[in-house]
Structure 1
C-alpha cells in the first residue's frame, strides 16, 4: 500500500503530494489536468523506462518519492531522472537499480488498463490465485522443496562429473567466495546497527547543542525557587503539604535527569576515524550484498550453502552412481507430487469457474464467462508426469 506519494518536477506535476486513505481513492479532473501523470510517475518510480523528457520545463530533475507499506515495514522509495538522462533509485538508505524497483513494484502496486488487468495476464500470478483459492499453497511449497532438492543433486552430479579443469575452476571460485565472506566477519543485524551509529555520529553537534539546552534549563534556579515557594505555602497551609512533597519529588527528578543527561553527553564525541570506519564497513557489506544476497542474513546463508557444496566437491563422499540413483528417486517422487498438484489445481479450477459463473449470473452479465486452460509442455529437465497435453475447465 502506498501511504504517501510526492511528485516533483515531473512533466506538469511541479510539486504534488498525495496521501491516499484506506479504501477506494478516486482522482478526478478535466482532460489534460494531469491525472495520467500520477500513473506515469508511479510507473517511473517502480522501474519504468522514462527519460529526461519527463523533466518539467525549467527544472533540473524529476523526482518521485513514496512511502510504501509492505506488511509490518514502511519503506521509502525514491527515483530521480536528471536532464542528462541519468537516473538514480533508492529503497531506504540503499541504492536500487531499476530491476530491484520493478521487483518491489510487482509486490505493492498493480496497474489496471481500460480493458485489461495486467497482473492477471501473468501465468505465475494466475497459478498463485488458483492455489490460494484451492488452499494448495502448502502442497505447492512441498513440491517446490522437492524440486530444489532434486536440482541440488543434479548440480552436484554435474560438478563431480565435470572435467578436472572445470572442477578446479569451480573449487577455486567457491573457496574465494567462502573466504571473502568469512574474512568479512559479518554479524546478523550489524548493518542496521551501523546505520544507527552513523546517523548518531552525523548528528553529534545537534545532540550536543540539545543536551546543553536541556542542562541549562534543568540547572536554572526556577525549579529551586518553585520548590521553596511550595514549602512556604505548606508552612502556611497544612492542606498543601502534598504540593510541597511533589515539589521535592520534582527537584529530585530534575537532579536525576541532569546526572543522566551529563552522563549521556559524555558519550557524545565526534570521531572522524570511527565515521570513516563505519562508512568503509557499510561499503564492504554493500559490495557483498550485490554479490551474495539482499541482507547480511542472506549473505551468511549463501556462505553456508557454498561451504556445503565446497565440502561435497572436495571430499566427493558420494559416488557418481549413488548420486544418480538418488536423483532418479527424487525425480520420481517429485513427478508424482507434481501430477497430484496439477490434478488438485484442475479440481480447484472447476470450483472457481462454477463460483464465478454464479457471481456473473447474480450481476446479470450473461455474456461473460470464465474458463481455465491447463497445458503441459515438454522440457529437457522437466518432471515425468502423465497428464493431458491440454485441458480446458469450463
Structure 2
C-alpha cells in the first residue's frame, strides 16, 4: 500500500506531502490545478523517463519519494529480498531525483539502475491512464490477466519453470556435443601421435645408452687396435712391461743381499707386477666383448635418427620422449567415454519436452476455455461503464512453445458492432483505456489481487448514471486493494474513503500547487462545487450531503 507521497520542486509543485490510506482515495480540483501531476510524479517513481523540464523554475533538482507499506507475502517484498534491497522495517521507500544532466534512483537508500526501479514499480503500482503508464498495453500483462481469470496460474508458472530448465539442459547438451567433437578431434590427433611413438617404443634411459653404444661402435676398429697394442705393451714379448719388470725384480733380489732397505722397493715392484697383469686381463676381457658385440651400426644409427625425428616433431628433448609417450597415452584414455553422459542428457531432455508439452496443452486448454468468457464478462462491464457497444476480445495466436506457452495473448477492442477488432493502443483513448482497465479489474477482482491501482481520466466523456456506476465499481475494488482515482465527477468523488483536494495559488509571486486532505465539511463544499460550478447553493450542498451518505 502507498502510505505517503512526497513531491519536491516538481513542475509547479514546491513541496507536497500526501498521506494515503487504504480503500479509495479520490483526488479533485479545478482544471489546471495540478491533479495529473500526482500521476506524473508516480510515473517518475515507477521509472518513467524524465527530463530537466520537470524541475521547478529556480530549483536545482526535482524529487519524488514514495513510501509503501509491504506485507511479508507480497511480490514486492519477495523481489526486494531476492536482490538484498529490503529495509529493517516493513516499509519500502522509493526515491527518484532528477537533475538537469541526469537522474538517480534509490530503493531503500540504495542506488539502483532505472530498470530495477521499473521492475519494482510493476509490483507496487498499476497506473491506468496515459498510454506511457498503461500496464494494460503490454502483452505480458494481458496474458497474466487471462491466466488469472482462467485459474491457470499454476500451469503457467510450472510451464515457465520447465521450459527454462529445458533451455538450460539443451544448452548443456549442445556444449557437451561440441566438447565431444573437440575431444574426438583431439583423440584422433593423440592416437596418431601415439602410433608414431609406439612404433619407436622409447624406454627411460635408452637414449643415453644409444648414444654411448653408437660412439663405441663408430670407433670399434680403433678400440680393438689400441687395446691389442696395450696388451702387447703390457704383457707380450721381450719388450713388454711385464718382462722388463721381471728383469728389474731379478736385479733387485741380488742387491737385496747387500741392502735390506731395498725390501720396500721389492714390494712396490711386486705390486706393480700384479697391477700390470690385472690391467692386461681387463684389456683382454674388453677386447673379447668388443669382438662378440654385433657390429650393426646402420640399424643403431637409424634408431638414433628416429629418436631425433620424433623429438623434433614434438618439440621436446630426445630424452623426454618416454615421458611424452606416457602422457599421451593417459590423455587418450581420458578423452574416451563421454558418450554416456550425452545420451543420458538426451533422455532427460526428452522427458522434460514431454512434461512441457503436457503442461502447455493443459495451459492452452484453460486459456481457450476462459478467453471467450473473459471477453464476454469484460464487454458487459464495459457497457455498464459507458463504453457503449464496444467489445473486447482476448485473441490467442498459436506460436512456438516458450516460457509463455504455445500461444500469444492479445486484448483487442472493437468500438462498434461493425468495426474490426484492433489492439488497445490503436483504438482506445486514455479515458477509454482507464475504463477498460476498470472493467477488467472488476471482472478479475476475486481472482487477481493486484498492487495499488491508480486511475486517471477514468471519467472522461461520461456523466450521470454511468459516472455513478464508475464510482461504485471503484469503491468495490477498494474493498480488497488500495485505489487512487483522479476525477472531475462528483458521483465518483462521493465514493471515496479519503478525499484529496488539489489547489493552485500564488505565494510570493510564484504559482504553487497544494494538496489538502478534506474533512467531512470540506468534502461537502468540494462536491457541491463540482455539482454547481462557481456558485455553491444550499441545494447543491444538500445534494452533496445525500451523495456522501450513499
Q: TM-score range by the shorter chain?
A: 0.5 to 0.7
- Measured after TM superposition, the shift of residue 36 of structure 1 is 2.2
Alignment-derived partner of residue 393 in structure 2: 371
Matches of 1:11 and 1:388, distance apart in 2? 40
C-alpha distance in 2 between matches for 1:97 and 1:43: 16
Distance 1:346 1:11 in 2: 47
* Structure 2 stretches lacking a partner, 5+ long: 73-89, 184-336, 413-420, 422-550
Deviations 1:199-256 (A, max 9, x none): xxxxxxxxxxxxxxxxxxxxxxxxxxxxxxxxxxxxxxxxxxxxxxxxxxxxxxxxxx
CA contact (8 A) 2:62 2:98 kept: yes
Task: Please name the residue that 1:11 is paired with.
Answer: 11
2:382 & 2:99 partners in 1: Cα distance?
49
Secondary structure of the residue aligned to 1:63 is: strand
In 1, the alpha carbon distance for the partners of 2:60 and 2:182 equals 51
Aligned equivalents of 1:114, 1:42: Cα separation in 2 = 12
Higher relative contact order (CA 8 A, sep 6+): 2
Give unmatched runs, 5+ long, in structure 1: 168-314
The match for 1:341 is: 363
Q: Are 1:140 and 2:162 matched, yes or no?
A: no
Larger Rg computed on CA atoms: 2
Q: 1:46 — aligned with what?
A: 46
Equivalence for 2:36: 36
Q: Distance in 1 between matches of 2:60 and 2:358?
A: 60
Offset at 1:377?
Answer: 2.2
Is the CA contact 1:61–1:82 (under 8 Å) kept in the aligned structure 2?
yes
2:128 match: 112
**Cα distance in 2 for residues equivalent to 1:388 and 1:74:** 36
The CA distance in 1 between the partners of 2:144 and 2:126, in whole Å, is 15
Equivalent residue for 1:124? 140
Which has a greater percent of strand? 2
* Structure 2 SS opposite 1:370: strand
Distance 1:52 1:339, change over 3 A: same
Aligned to 1:283: none
Contact 2:67–2:94 (8 Å) recurs in 1:
yes
Alpha carbon RMSD of aligned pairs, Å?
A: 3.7
Deviations 1:108-162 (A, max 9, x none): 1222226898222222112211222222112222222321331221121122233
Partner SS, residue 7 of structure 2? strand
* Residues 1-394 of structure 1 mapped to structure 2, 5 A cutoff: 1-72=1-72, 73-83=90-100, 85-113=101-129, 118-163=134-179, 319-357=341-379, 359=381, 367-378=389-400
Question: Once the 2 structures are TM-superposed, how far is the Cα of residue 96 of structure 1 from its aligned partner?
Answer: 1.4
Runs (4+) off by over 4 Å: 114-117, 163-167, 315-318, 357-366, 381-385, 387-390
Distance of 1:361 and 1:34 partners within structure 2: 30
CA offsets, 1:157-193, max 9 Å, x none?
12223358999xxxxxxxxxxxxxxxxxxxxxxxxxx
> 2:2–2:21: 8 Å Cα contact kept in structure 1?
no
**Deviations for 1:28-80, whole angstroms, at most 9, x for unmatched residues?**
22333222222222122221111222221221211111102333332011111
TM-score (normalizing by structure 1): 0.54
